[in-house]
Every structure is written in structure tokens, then in C-alpha cells.
């Protein structure tokens, strides 16, 4: 009981984290050191307590009780050039926690619980007049209790999800004391302060051992409705007044549904994994209004395991979910700018590797590194200086480094 209380206390502290700019769209590619090292795979591969947040069915493979806790030092590098000079976002260092616990309660039932930062995005161009002093910060945390049922060669699991989200958008446009119309005319500072919401959903997953070496698995996570009062609506209002948007954006920003399938194949000391994931940005309220499309993610991993250590590597690739709108479409330029400047969730390929070592019979230390090479995205956004009705180029470059470390304790 004391150990369970300790796990929940650490998980509560995790709610204070601020993840910014995740990877597959706005979502982290992997949650935990083992999954991250293996390209974000884990739908069919059992990694211990980490599986609470990947596929609740797989916790049915637990033998006893395991507590896992750790964090990711996430370091994105984002730069934007709107034609008035390039600026670098100052939102470049973030700490994202992950805490989970699994415990077998009978021969057929296993309980699990997890709390973790799952997604986020944002930039900080404060002090840069060329970028409207733009500052954005979105963070998503999930609390996930789970229960799994298993037989000899299959298992199913269910997790209700309690999701906490917050969103803050603010920027400076023009001077409210300047004469209008005129080059400096504008509302000045635009922002509503941080807005937060609670949402509820579920995750359902299962696995089937075709034989002792091959496992197939699938998991589904429902969409979760979220509303951030006064954020997107207030941020888009000045663009409506300037005729750049036909109407203000709504404040609903639904976290999209996910469908995942995977396999894991063991060959002696080697394990090979492959996952496919579909993230339904294109049908999520809010994201679809920003012209986001469904994202297909393919990930593969390989892992060597000895008696005292493991080493793994992987690759994760997901297409850019943000589709540029035509510069002549109603609201197209303003929507492009919101995506490319305010929320550039554009990374695609991730290269991963990591390893772990058994410090004692019960305690293991794991680590992983995730690298996303730089991508460059250019869209047509509003031309605030030249006034070109066809818009001006807005270019964002984006790369990422992530360093994850976690400890696993079995008892």
C-alpha cells in the first residue's frame, strides 16, 4: 500500500509538467524509455509498466508488480522566417514525466495505472517584432487506470482516460493608439490568459500469441472533446476584422482518436517490432478546421537482450498532417500562418536508440535518445508589410532531440 501511494504521489507531481511541441503531429512517438528506443513501438511488445499507456491489454503479461517512473528532456529547435528576418523560438527545453504501475491481482486479472504527458505544442517568439511576439503553449496530461484479463495466449484490457489540457495563445499586433488605417494600426496585445479543461475517453486493447515467438496486437483510443474558452476565438478575432478570416475559430480542440496495430517477433536474444498507427486529425473538431489531415505512422524496432542489459534501435515515420490551404481560399493565408508560425507540428522521421542495465535483481535503469532531422515548411501567409493579396512566404524549420531516462522496480 505504501508503494502504491508513492507511485500516485509522484504521478500527481507530474501534472505540473509543460510538454511543448511533440512529434507525430502533437503526440509523443513513444511513452517510456523502452518504447522510445524502439521507434515508438509497443502495441505488441511487452515492456512492463510502460504498456499501461500503450496497449492496456498487454499488461496481462505482467508476472508480479512493477513500478516505472522517469522523464524526457525534450529539446525542439524551431525557427520562423516571415520575410522580415529569421527568429528562433525560445521554447526549446521541456521536461515531460511518465509514471506507471502494474500489479497482477490474480491468475487472470492485472491492474495498472499511469499518468503521463502525452502531447503538446508551442513556440515562444516574444521579443521578436517580426513574429508578432507570438507565444503559444498547449499541454496534454492523461491519468489512465487499467484492468486486463488474460488467458494462456491472449489478453484484453480497458482503460478509462481522464485528460487534463491547457492552452495559451498570445501575440502582439500593431499599436492600439496608432491612427487607423495606418501601418501601425492594430489591437496591440492579443491574449486571454491560459484556459484549461478536463476531458474523458477510453482505450481498449488486446493481444494474441500466435506461438511462443510471435505476438499480434491492436489498440484503440477514443477521441476526447476539449474546449479552451477564449483562446482560438480571441486569437483569430483581429484577422476577421482585417478581412483575412471569414469568421473566428471555435474554441473546441478535440484530441483525435487513434487506431494501432502491431507485431512482435522473438528470435533468441533478439526482438523485432513493427507498429502501424492512424491518428484521426482530419475528423477531430478544431484540427479539421485548420485543415489537418489523418496521419499514418509506421514504426519499426529491434532489440538485443542479455541477462543483465538490453540495447535497441528504431525508426518512426509519420506524414506531416498539416495541409497548406490555397492563398486565395477564404481564410487560407491566416490559417496557414496559425499552423506554420503558432503550431508547427511538422516533424516526420525519427531515429531512435537506447538501452538498459539491471542494477540489481529488482531495479533496472533505462535510457533512450530520439532525433528528428530538420524539416522545412513554406506556406503562403498574410503579407503584413507588402500587402500582396497573394500572400507572403512563411517558412518554418523544425528539428528535435529527446533524452529519456526511467527506472523500473519489480517487487
Q: Identify the top-confidence range among 154-163, 168-177, 180-189.
A: 154-163
Once rounded to an integer, what is the mean pLDDT over residues 86-105? 91
Q: What's the pLDDT band for 266 if we cut at 50, 70, 90?
A: very high
Among the listed ranges 96-100, 111-115, 165-169, 274-278, which one has the minimum average pLDDT value?
96-100
What is the distance between the alpha carbons of residues 392 and 333, in angstroms, rounded to a whole number?
Answer: 9
Q: What is the mean pLDDT of residues 196-220?
A: 97
- Of residues 169 and 176, the one with the higher pLDDT is 169
pLDDT category, 389, cuts 50, 70, 90? confident
Whether pLDDT at 16 is above 70: no
Reduce the DSSP state of residue 109 to 3 states and report it: strand
How many whole angstroms separate alpha carbon 348 and alpha carbon 400? 11
pLDDT at 83: 75
- Residue 181 has what pLDDT? 58
Say what percent of the chain tops pLDDT 70.
91
DSSP secondary structure, 267-289, as one string? ETTEEEEEEEEEE-GGGSTTTGG
What are residue 94's DSSP bridge partners?
74
- Supply the pLDDT for residue 14: 41
Instruction: Taking the CA atoms of 32, 36, 37 and 42 in sequence, report the sign of the dihedral they define.
Output: positive
Which residue, chain included where needed, has cell 484479463? 149
What CATH number should be reported for the domain holding residue 354? Answer: 2.40.160.60
Percent of the chain with pLDDT over 90: 73
Does residue 329 carry a pLDDT above 70?
yes
The helix, strand and coil proportions of the chain, stated in percent and rounded to the nearest 5, come to: 15, 50, 35
Distances (CA, A) of 186 to 183, 239, 270, 322: 9, 10, 61, 28
Taking the CB of residue 298, how many other CB atoms lie within 10 A of it? Answer: 15
Can you give the pLDDT at residue 187?
A: 73
What 3-state DSSP class applies to 194?
coil
Mean pLDDT, the chain, rounded, equals: 89
Give the mean model confidence (pLDDT) for residues 10-22.
42
Question: Would you put residue 42 in left (φ > 0), alpha (ψ -120 to 50) or beta?
Answer: left
Residue 334 CB neighbours (<10 A): 23
Measured CA to CA, the distance from residue 292 to residue 257 in angstroms comes to 14
CB atoms within 10 A of CB 272: 17
Number of domains in the chain: 1
Nearest to 368 by CA among 2, 19, 38: 38
Residue range 120-158, pLDDT digits in tens: 888 999 877 567 888 999 999 999 999 999 999 999 999
Which carries the bigger pLDDT value, residue 85 or residue 175?
Answer: 85
pLDDT tier at 303, thresholds 50, 70, 90: very high
Structural domain span for residue 379: 2-410
- State the average pLDDT over residues 90-97: 87
The stretches of 200-331 forming alpha helices (DSSP H) are 232-241
Amino acid at each position: 500500500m505504501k508503494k502504491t501511494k508513492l507511485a500516485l504521489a509522484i504521478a500527481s507531481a507530474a501534472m505540473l509538467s509543460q510538454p511543448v511541441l511533440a512529434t507525430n503531429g502533437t503526440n509523443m512517438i513513444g511513452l517510456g524509455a523502452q518504447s522510445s528506443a524502439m521507434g515508438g513501438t509497443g502495441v505488441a511488445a511487452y515492456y512492463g509498466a510502460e504498456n499501461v499507456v500503450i496497449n492496456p491489454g498487454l499488461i496481462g503479461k505482467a508476472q508480479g508488480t512493477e513500478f516505472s517512473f522517469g522523464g524526457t528532456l525534450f529539446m525542439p529547435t524551431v525557427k520562423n522566417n516571415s520575410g522580415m528576418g529569421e527568429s528562433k523560438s525560445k521554447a526549446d527545453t521541456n521536461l515531460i514525466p511518465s509514471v506507471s504501475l502494474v500489479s497482477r491481482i490474480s491468475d487472470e486479472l492485472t491492474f495498472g495505472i499511469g499518468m503521463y504527458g502525452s502531447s503538446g505544442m508551442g513556440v515562444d517568439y516574444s521579443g521578436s517584432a517580426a513574429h508578432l511576439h507570438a507565444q503559444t503553449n498547449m499541454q496534454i496530461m492523461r491519468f489512465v487506470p487499467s484492468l486486463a484479463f488474460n488467458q494462456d495466449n491472449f489478453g484484453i484490457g480497458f482503460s478509462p482516460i481522464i485528460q487534463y489540457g491547457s492552452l495559451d495563445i498570445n501575440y502582439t499586433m500593431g499599436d492600439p493608439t496608432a491612427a487607423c488605417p495606418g501601418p501601425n494600426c492594430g489591437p496591440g496585445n492579443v491574449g486571454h490568459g491560459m484556459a484549461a479543461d478536463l476531458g474523458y475517453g477510453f482505450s481498449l486493447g488486446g493481444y494474441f500469441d500466435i506461438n511462443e515467438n510471435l505476438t499480434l496486437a491492436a489498440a484503440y483510443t477514443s477521441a476526447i472533446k476539449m474546449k479552451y474558452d477564449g483562446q482560438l476565438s480571441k486569437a483569430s478575432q483581429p484577422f476577421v476584422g482585417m478581412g483575412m478570416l471569414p469568421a473566428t475559430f471555435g474554441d473546441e480542440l478535440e484530441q483525435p482518436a487513434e487506431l494501432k496495430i502491431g507485431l512482435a517477433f522473438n528470435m533468441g536474444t533478439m526482438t523485432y517490432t513493427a507498429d502501424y498507427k492512424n491518428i484521426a486529425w482530419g475528423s477531430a473538431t478544431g484540427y479539421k478546421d485548420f485543415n489537418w489531415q489523418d496521419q499514418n505512422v509506421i514504426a519499426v524496432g529491434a532489440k538485443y537482450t542479455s541477462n543483465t542489459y538490453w540495447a535497441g534501435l528504431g525508426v518512426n515515420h509519420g506524414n506531416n498532417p498539416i495541409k497548406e490551404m490555397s492563398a486565395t481560399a477564404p481564410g487560407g493565408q491566416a490559417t496557414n500562418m496559425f499552423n506554420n508560425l503558432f503550431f508547427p507540428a511538422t516533424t516526420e522521421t525519427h531515429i531512435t536508440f537506447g538501452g538498459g542495465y539491471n542494477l540489481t535483481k529488482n531495479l533496472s535503469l533505462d535510457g533512450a535518445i530520439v532525433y528528428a532531422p530538420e524539416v522545412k515548411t513554406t506556406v503562403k501567409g498574410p503579407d503584413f508589410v507588402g500587402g500582396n493579396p497573394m500572400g507572403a512566404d512563411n517558412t518554418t524549420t523544425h528539428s528535435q532531440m529527446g533524452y529519456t531516462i526511467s527506472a523500473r522496480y519489480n517487487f
